[in-house]
Amino acid sequence: MRVLITGAKGFVGPYVCEALRTVCGHDIVVAATSKDGGPHPVFGEVEALDVTDKAAVDRAIARHRPTHVINLAAVAATSAAQADPQNTWRIHVAGALNVAHAILDEAPDCWLIHVGSGLVYGESAKTGRPLDESTLLAPIDDYAVTKAAADLALGALSRHGLKCVRMRPFNHTGPGQTEAFAVPAFAMQIARIEAGLAPPVILVGNLDAQRDFLDARDIANAYARAALNTDDLAPNTIFNIASGVSWRMGDVLDLLLAQSSVKIATEQDPSRMRPSDLPSIAGDATRARTRLGWAPEHPFEETLAAVLNDCRQRVART
């Protein structure tokens, strides 16, 4: 098995590399690529590859002749996606299509494991029911709209011979994630307070939103299992990757605060008090459980502890 990973230097990339070697065996060959190449503690050396550069993508697929491509290339945070929508469309949609067409032209037997997002369901979450793969796509922002557009475009290309598995992961976190995401944002504030670098107060906005969270290792395990099982999958199979449990953000913060070595107060910041467009989101991953033999293995409470410890180490290094 020869696996080419795009966006390998992002948060999830190293977890995917580890999962591939655990699930698929150590005889696997991994070609790690990212827009910014260079040395990496997990991959060794990462090849520079911008998925928006069609000619470069064509050359990379022709050179590596992968059996599988895992497309992680993306604008990771919704805030960054909103800040530059044009760039988001280029990476999420044009980039995904560049990868798909390169596979069709240069390695037609290769499988594309495309990483989308559970946020593509958007407004459909307001039904209050767990979202499965048949749920109507109703995205509400640039991040989710572009993820949905790429998802649908790749589905259409499957009619022209593309062997594609469309993954729709829900929220996930773990050590190494940036402060652009809620869990490490909470944890870094706690770590700075513990280190005496900030007053013992966390300013918060709306904590009533509920989200379906997974450990990044469980997400990566699902991608690796999809790659391992492609011989048994029909092209254009879609998998939600979710826990099915919706966590209130205030409860997530309380769990982190309970692990703190100092007393920390929370204070509502009126400028952050915005109602959630999607009050509660939970995914139904029954298909991944039955067809991939996948299930979450890491309790979310343990994931939160790992994130907080990672943030403490990062603060100590500054």
Tens of pLDDT, residues 80-110: 999 999 999 999 999 999 999 999 999 999 9
* pLDDT score at 268: 85
* pLDDT score at 274: 64
Question: In order of start, what are the domains of the chain with their CATH numbers?
Answer: 2-174+213-245+283-298 (3.40.50.720), 182-209+246-281+305-317 (3.90.25.10)
Give buried/exposed letters for 182-213 (b at 16+ CB in 10 A, else e). bbbebbbbbbbbbeeebeeebebbebebbbbb
| pTM of full prediction above 0.85 | yes
* pLDDT score at 275: 66
Please state the φ and ψ torsions of residue 311, each to the nearest 5 degrees: -65, -35
CA distances from 152 to 6, 79, 149, 166, 226 (A): 20, 23, 5, 9, 19
* pLDDT score at 317: 94
* pLDDT score at 273: 67
**pLDDT averaged per 10 residues, the chain (length 318):** 97 97 92 94 94 98 98 94 96 98 98 98 95 97 97 97 98 96 95 97 90 98 98 96 97 97 90 77 98 97 98 95
Token output for 183: 């869990």
Side-chain-side CA neighbours of residue 76 (13 Å): 17
